[in-house]
Amino acid sequence: MSTTTYVTSVPVTNYVPGQQTQTTYITTGRAPPPPPPHVVNVVVVNQGSRWSKTATKTGTAATFAFVYAGMDMAQGLGWNLNANVPTTTEFQYSWFIGFIIGALVSALAVSFLPKKIFYGLGSIMNLIDAIIFVSAPYEYEPILAARYVGGVGIGLITVPFIIHSAEISTSNSRGTCSALEQYGLSLGIAIQVIYDSQWAGDLGMAVNRVHGIFGIVFSAFAIGSVAMAIESPIFYIRQNQEDRARASIRQLMDSWWTVERGNQAYEEAKLYVVEGTSQNVGEQIAESMMPFIKMLFFRGFVAFTISLPLSWSIETSTYMFENTFYAWPSIVFGALRLLGSLITMAVLDTVGRKFVSLLALMCMAGLMLGMAGIYGDYSNILSPYYMRQVANLGMGFQLFAGVYVCSSSAYLGEAFPLRVKPFLIGLIVCVEQVIHIVVIATFGSISAEYFYKYFVVVGILLVVGLVAFAILMPETRGTTLRKAGERFRRVHDVMAY
């Protein structure tokens, strides 16, 4: 082989028949200097901060609605200590039945109707729920009907919000925007747990009326915030409305918008729609089986983070060593869950979904089995010392429960292809509510035996889930929706980064 070197400012071709020739070019022209790296970094930061702020404002209406939903949910899961009406089994599961109805309706209609319709209608139904609580706090039938109505309202909001938040946020802010769902629920749970556990019956106001006043405030804010919602450009592209899609992108980008950046965002959204509609429903269902199985269990575990046995456990254990239900452990119980959600929102797009959720799940499993170990000796339920330990474990459990739940919202918005996404998300969140209903119906009484059986079964499930998710769940931080969907369709994905 011969080697020929040219010193030239233009390309020169050298070829010798029958020989392998290597040609080297040394140009006399001056190469342009590389662009300074800090310029690129500034652009990325601006995109993440300005666009994510707009996306977060868009989710404000749903977030206020989720706060009141968290209050309604907690009320049915044991935090109705100062009951103005009988706390029947139907009272406890009524909100979850309503949720299932609303989620099924929204899953069928969300592909054809703007998200504002669901946010507005759901918030109005929550407002009706709250008004009934204020106007008839001592009447069982109206309160029961209000809980059904409130459940339908939040069911109408949940599926559209999970889809919407994933579509309007950037790759570097999708986790935070999606986590607003669980943050709102955690805030509502904290409010219900704290005021219900500290309310004194001689204050002159029915506790249900206080519940309704909170609901009116949050529902009014939710209705007032609907106008701030910006529709997803993906929705408009699916409706063949290019001008409105581009206008939506410009609103989302806000001051970061330029023609070039707007075009890039539009082309990415259009490519996502093209890929999502190129397959028929049957093909997408087949592709979605693995993501569906993963998310069915991942989101199903959210139902175990706040449940009737957990609430009764913290209440009875507190009574054993404080001689009252109205003591500080309930306040810490609610506050730690909210703190866990806030921490996760701050790190979900930097540390990542997988590492955060696995760490939380590991701690949850250990704490759950720790409580099961104490309840394993039935006589411990009469011991103030052991019940104090149960209360401590229960409070710690809520911290990591708040950390775990936020990842589920981000994952749900990323896991499925476009055509089947609303139906599969709707089915999964309905299964979550069914788990609540089953636990309510089967957990018959407060006893060490029931606590032991529940905590052992759930603790083992969490351990199995920890191992399975470590192997199966992908890390999707910083990826586009298309790339995240591809990762979910893999059978296994061990890497956390």
pLDDT at 205 over 70: yes
Name the pLDDT band for 473 (thresholds 50, 70, 90).
very high
- Determine what percent of the chain is predicted with pLDDT higher than 90: 53
Helix, strand, or coil (residue 209):
helix
Tokens 């008004």 found at? 131
φ, ψ (nearest 5 deg) of residue 4: -120, 135
Alpha carbon distance 369, 357 (integer Å): 18
For the ranges 12-21, 92-101, 308-317, the lowest mean pLDDT is seen at 12-21
Higher model confidence: residue 297 or residue 446? 297
pLDDT at 45 over 70: no
Average pLDDT, the chain: 85
Q: What does the pLDDT read at residue 9?
A: 41
8 membership: H or E segment, kind and range: strand 2-8
Residues 453-490, buried b or exposed e (16+ Cβ, 10 A)?
bbbbebbebbbebbeebbebbbbbbbbbbeebbebbbe
Write the pLDDT tens digit of every residue in 105-153: 999 999 899 999 999 999 999 999 999 999 999 999 999 999 999 999 9
Alpha carbon distance 360, 37 (integer Å): 36
For the ranges 183-197, 396-410, 456-470, 482-496, the lowest mean pLDDT is seen at 482-496
Q: What does the pLDDT read at residue 37?
A: 38
Name the pLDDT band for 6 (thresholds 50, 70, 90).
very low
Alpha carbon distance 164, 229 (integer Å): 10
Higher model confidence: residue 488 or residue 321? 488
Per-residue tokens: 469: 């998710």
List beta partners, residue 5. Answer: 24
3-state secondary structure 391-456: HHHHHHHHHHHHHHHHHHHHHHHHCCCCCCHHHHHHHHHHHHHHHHHHHHHHCCCCCHHHHHHHHH
Per-residue tokens: 176: 């935070």
Name the pLDDT band for 36 (thresholds 50, 70, 90).
very low
pLDDT at 244 over 70: yes
Which of 1-10, 196-205, 227-236, 253-262 has maximum average pLDDT? 227-236
**Residue 114 CA: distances (Å) to CA of 160, 289, 301:** 9, 28, 30
Looking at the structure, give the CATH architecture of the domain made up of residues 49-231+279-489.
Up-down Bundle (1.20)
In sign, the C-alpha dihedral spanning 398, 402, 407, 413 is positive
- Determine what percent of the chain is predicted with pLDDT higher than 70: 86
Alpha carbon distance 446, 404 (integer Å): 27
> How many CB atoms lie under 10 A from the CB of residue 105?
17
Number of H helices, E strands in the chain: 21, 2
Higher model confidence: residue 414 or residue 47? 414
Helix, strand, or coil (residue 410):
helix
pLDDT at 10 over 50: no
Q: What does the pLDDT read at residue 51?
A: 52
Which of 215-219, 276-280, 477-481 has maximum average pLDDT? 215-219
Q: What does the pLDDT read at residue 358?
A: 95
Per-residue tokens: 62: 């749903």
Q: What does the pLDDT read at residue 443?
A: 83
Write the pLDDT tens digit of every residue in 73-97: 999 998 988 878 888 999 999 999 9
What is the rounded average pLDDT of the residues 395-400? 96
Alpha carbon distance 327, 315 (integer Å): 9
Higher model confidence: residue 256 or residue 96? 96
Q: What does the pLDDT read at residue 373?
A: 94
Write the pLDDT tens digit of every residue in 159-174: 999 999 998 888 888 8
Q: What does the pLDDT read at residue 275?
A: 84
Amino acid letter at 281? V
pLDDT at 25 over 80: no
Alpha carbon distance 158, 66 (integer Å): 8
Alpha-carbon 319 to chain mean position: 33
Alpha carbon distance 96, 92 (integer Å): 8
Alpha carbon distance 386, 375 (integer Å): 9
Least Cα distance to 446 among 329, 320, 345 occurs for 320
Beta 21-27 vs 2-8: how paired, if at all? parallel
For the ranges 48-57, 132-141, 258-267, the lowest mean pLDDT is seen at 48-57
